[in-house]
Structure 1
Amino acid sequence: MRLPLFCVLLLSVSLAHAAPPELDWLDMMPPEDQKALEEMPEIDHNTPEAEGFSAKGGLKQDKGLPAVMYSAKTVPSLNGKKIRLGGYPVPLDASEAGTYETFFLVPYPGACIHVPPPPPNQIVLVTFPKGFKMADIYTPIWVDGTLNVEKTSSDLAEAAYVLRASSVKVVEEDDL
């Protein structure tokens, strides 16, 4: 049975606009890091991170936290995958129009500001040439695009992945 041309076109348009598969943050950690994270004792927020952050933007490594908190180990099979990742933005440089073409995406709000930053394999550098206007860093967003295993570093943080975004949008209640 052949579908009418209209149905074929409608189907191809709806597939073209379908979101890519959603990626869970834990899937970006190799199994040994997931296990280490599960076995890690709860972090006491009075030490060691209360004493500050390193010049590289992460936690000071000389304070004795478990190595998984500094891990940049990645999952190579994710390289080049089209994905959707939900998280919270950490702004970098704003354009004159007040939009962000580059920002970090992290799994929880306030990372790198009020709470310890996640390990590099839980920080994604997002590039979005169209620019995205952020309401605030506590508003969750969806980022669709191509994920690459690529280590980057800035004064704020180190990231183990780069996501070249095709779209960025605020998470709506209907999305949950």
Structure 2
Amino acid sequence: MRRTLLACSLALLTGLAHAADIPETDWLQLMPPSDRKALEEMPEIDHNSPEAAGTFTQKQGGLKQKGKLPPVMFSTRTVAALDGKQIRLGGYPVPLENDARGRVTEFFLVPYPGACIHVPPPPPNQIVLVRYPKGMKIDDIYSPLWVTGKLKVEKVSNEMADAAYAMDEAKVRAVQDSDL
């Protein structure tokens, strides 16, 4: 009996240690190899647009992509092995919903800052919808976040963007200087 309790205690402590030590997932791991290859071979993209000049408006489509971009820039293809996997992903928030106190409760996590005004925006398989009912104050979309939780393959589409992944019940925190 004592050995069983000891074994259970060690398993629990090991599990907690592993949860704290989840390695960072690289954004490119969210893309199937064929998409990564297509992205590497993609021609240079022109950034001359109203958004690039700082005149972004919601009517221009938010993160939704328009124009003549290569198909990989619209890809919703995912990596099935990541479905249900605990990951830690660093990225930048694009706030979507706030609670009554003004705290962000839902946001898109994207791989680079300013994606809501950058041209072109990331492909859907490089956008993760994070549902965070606890909410958090986000003063600066250019400040990176760590998001840790169970990744789900889930296609989400709204006025702002299309995403191929989502996370619920994630842990969210600002990236600190000590993380770098």
- Equivalents in 1 of 2:50, 2:74: separation in Å? 14
Matching of residues 89-104 of structure 1 within 5 Å: 89-104=93-108
**Deviation, structure 1 residue 26:** 0.1
Give the SS at the match of 2:154: strand
Match of 1:144 in 2: 148
1:106-129 CA-to-partner distances (Å, cap 9, x unmatched) read 000000224321000000000112
- Equivalents in 2 of 1:135, 1:47: separation in Å? 26
Quote the RMSD (CA, aligned, Å). Answer: 2.6
- Equivalents in 2 of 1:167, 1:30: separation in Å? 26
The partner residue of 1:78 within 82, 87, 103 is 82
- Equivalents in 2 of 1:29, 1:49: separation in Å? 26
Structure 2 vs 1, CA of residues 20 and 59 (structure 1 numbering), >3 Å: closer, same or farther? same
- Equivalents in 2 of 1:28, 1:13: separation in Å? 24
4+ residue segments displaced more than 6 Å: none
Give the SS at the match of 1:93: strand
Match of 1:153 in 2: 157
Normalising by structure 2, we get a TM-score of: 0.83
Give the SS at the match of 2:105: strand
Give the SS at the match of 2:98: coil
- The one-letter code sitting in structure 1 at the alignment partner of 2:36 is Q
Q: Is the 8 A contact 1:121 1:161 kept in 2?
A: yes
Match of 1:42 in 2: 44
- Equivalents in 2 of 1:138, 1:170: separation in Å? 11
Which blocks of at least 5 consecutive residues in structure 2 are unaligned?
Answer: none
Structure 2 vs 1, CA of residues 49 and 33 (structure 1 numbering), >3 Å: closer, same or farther? farther
Q: Percent identity?
A: 59
1:82-122 CA-to-partner distances (Å, cap 9, x unmatched) read 11100000000111111111100000000022432100000
Match of 2:64 in 1: 58
**Deviation, structure 1 residue 9:** 9.8
Q: How many residues align?
A: 170
Give the SS at the match of 2:112: coil
**Deviation, structure 1 residue 77:** 0.7
Structure 2 vs 1, CA of residues 39 and 93 (structure 1 numbering), >3 Å: closer, same or farther? same
Matching of residue 162 in structure 1 with residue 166 in structure 2: yes
Matching of residue 113 in structure 1 with residue 141 in structure 2: no
**Deviation, structure 1 residue 135:** 2.2
Give the SS at the match of 1:92: strand
- The one-letter code sitting in structure 2 at the alignment partner of 1:46 is N
Matching of residue 171 in structure 1 with residue 175 in structure 2: yes
**Deviation, structure 1 residue 159:** 0.2
